[in-house]
Amino acid sequence: MPKFCSKECEEQGTICDFCEFYDFNGDENGAYTGDGWCNKFNIQKEPFEGYNCEEFVCFRINKSIWKLILIELLHKMGGIIWRKIFMFMNGIT
Ligand code: SF4
Ligand SMILES: [Zn+2]
pLDDT of residue 14: 97
Ligand 1 centre to CA of 44 (Å) is 10
More confident residue, 77 or 12: 12
Kindly report the pTM of this predicted structure.
Answer: 0.72
Q: Is 88 in the pocket of ligand 1 (CB under 6 A)?
A: no
More confident residue, 48 or 85: 48
32 confidence band (pLDDT: 50, 70, 90):
confident
Q: What string of H, E and C letters represents the secondary structure of the chain? A: CCECCCHHHHHHCCCHHHECCEECCECCCCCECCCCEECCCCEECCCCCCCCCCCCEECCCCCCHHHHHHHHHHHHHHHHHHHHHHHHHCCCC
Q: Which of ligand 1's atoms lies nearest the C-alpha of 15?
A: 7
Q: Which residues surround ligand 2, an ion (CB under 5 A)?
A: 5, 9, 58, 60
pLDDT beyond 60 at 58: yes
Name the residue among 65, 63, 51, 71 with its Cα closest to residue 2: 51
Instruction: Give the least confident one: 6-15, 23-32, 33-42.
Output: 23-32
pLDDT of residue 77: 62
Q: Is 48 in the pocket of ligand 1 (CB under 6 A)?
A: no
pLDDT beyond 60 at 74: yes
